[in-house]
Each structure stands twice: as structure tokens, then as C-alpha cells.
Amino acid sequence: MTDLNNLTCIAHRGASGYEPENTLRAFARAIELNCPWIELDVHMADGYIMVIHDEDLSRTTNGNGKMSDCSYEYLRKLDAGHGESIPTLAEVLSLVSHRARVNIELKGHGAAEPVCSLLKELSWGPQEFLISSFDHEELAQVDSSFTRGALFNRRVDSYVDAAKRINAKIIILDRRLTTRTEIDHAHEAGMELWVYTANKPKHIRKLKALGADGIFSDFPDRAMKIASEG
């Protein structure tokens, strides 16, 4: 769980360059690779916290339709790749079992409260989690004992001000929006700036040189190797 040279590596949707994204196989692979953090996406469906990126089922499973319209029984019969089911958040946390920290990205509405309730029932420390979202209204509903990560996929006047408004300590930026200026602004405000998603070594090296604090990668071993270089 030690970060290398202060650059945090995050397995994006698990080690999703090697295994089907957001499946138990992808998270197990990230742990095998000794990645200190895994990232996953959650949607509420039929009262369950399901780990999947898209609201529409068709890209990552053999199902059709919208998550929020489906029963838990239907969702659990689907193949999310290599015969894997769509996992629940509870199943992923049981698999991880403190061997990595977990960044939970809230997709859609209404996930903040059930996610925080579940996490508070567990014997994990709040520092083992980062809760993030592009939906800053939803993120503002996250219990204040958890660290909030404000996600951005487009330019705003000030990422720092936008993050401060919802008491987020980490700014998470699209790689193409990331500059040294934005990283410096975050640091001056006492915040970290993490960047998604970098898979090519040249991109990872560039972000490291700019001073990024965290890098999301589908190939977390690549990011970890570069982070460990002098």
C-alpha cells in the first residue's frame, strides 16, 4: 500500500487492461500487481450497490437496457466478461479486504447515502476510501468522515474553487485538461491532483514530470514501474 515516490497509482476499473473492467477478476489482478489503490464505479439498481461503469448494460455485459430498470436477479445472471457477474460493492470490498485502498466513483443519483451507510458498517478506516463523482451535488451528500474527490471532464474557471465548494480534498482531472499550472494551483491550495486515464508510458512519464499526485491506469503495473523510477 506504499505509494512510490509520492505518486499514487490507481487501478482504473481494476486492472482493466488485463481483465474485464469492474469485475472481481480485474480487482484481484490489481491486488496481485500490488497496486495500492483500485478504482470502481457504482450504480444503484433494485436497492443494490452494483459495480459497473455504464447505466446502459450493452457495452460491458451480454444484457440490454438500463441498470436502473432491471431487477437484481436479472443483473446477476448477466456475463460481465469471462463469465464474471456484475459484482456488488460489498463483494468487491470483501475480496479486497484491506489489501488496497478503494476509490468509489458515484455514477447516477442516489448512491452517496447507501454507499456511506455500507462503508460505515464495515471495520475499515475512512482513510482506506476515496469517494469521487462528476456529480458534485451527489458528492456533497457524502458523509464528511470520507475524503471527497471532485471529478472534472471539462474546463472550469477554477478547479480549486469548485472542489472547495464541496469540501473535496482531491481534484481528479482528465489527462487532456492537466497542466503544470493546474497541478501547482492544487498544491498551493493544499490539495492533491490526480489524473485519469494514462496507459501509454509516455503519458504516464509526462504526468509524473508535471508533478501529478495520482495516476489512474488500466495497466497499473506500468504506472507503478514508472513511479518507482528515480
Give me the residues that bind ligand G3P (CB under 6 A), please: 12, 39, 41, 53, 105, 132, 151, 172, 196, 216
| b/e 147-171 (16+ beta carbons within 10 angstroms → b) | bbbbbbeeeeeebbeebeebebbbb
In single-letter form, the type of residue at position 152 comes to F
Question: Is there binding between residue 192 and Ca ion (CB under 5 A)?
Answer: no
Residue 196 interaction partner, one of ligand G3P, Ca ion, none, beta carbon < 5-8 Å per kind = ligand G3P
Q: How far is the CB of 12 from ligand G3P (least distance, A)?
A: 6
Q: Any contact of residue 41 with Ca ion (CB under 5 A)? A: yes
The CA distance from 172 to 57, in Å, is 26
- The site for Ca ion, by CB under 5 A, has a size of 2
* Euclidean distance between CA atoms 155 and 143, whole angstroms: 27
- Phi, psi of 131, deg, nearest 5: -110, 125
Smallest CA-to-CA distance from 103 within 91, 87, 92, 114 is with: 92
CA–CA dist 227, 224 (Å, integer): 5
Pick what 132 binds: ligand G3P, Ca ion, none; C-beta below 5 to 8 Å, kind-dependent.
ligand G3P
Active site (annotated) includes residue 12: yes
Q: How far apart are CA 134 and CA 151, in angstroms?
A: 5
Q: Respond yes or no: is residue 185 known to be catalytic.
A: no
Can you state the angle between helices 24-32 and 89-96, rounded to 10 degrees? 20
In the bound state, the residue with its beta carbon closest to Ca ion is: 105
Choose the contact partner of 216 out of ligand G3P, Ca ion, none; CB within 5 to 8 A by kind. Answer: ligand G3P
85, 76 contact by CB (below 8 A): yes
Which residues in the 86-105 window bind Ca ion by CB under 5 A?
105
| Beta carbon nearer to ligand G3P, 172 or 224 | 172
Smallest separation (angstroms) from Ca ion to the CB of 91 = 18
Catalytic member of 53, 136, 185, 187: 53
Nearer to ligand G3P, 71 or 219 (CB): 219
Residues 6+ apart with CB under 8 A from 230: none
> Binding to Ca ion by residue 182, rule CB under 5 A?
no
Q: Look at residue 37 and give the partner it binds from ligand G3P, Ca ion, none, a contact being a CB closer than 5 to 8 Å depending on partner kind.
A: none
31 vs 198 by CB, closer to ligand G3P = 198
Query: What are the catalytic residues?
Result: 12, 53
Residues of this chain that bind Ca ion (CB under 5 A): 41, 105
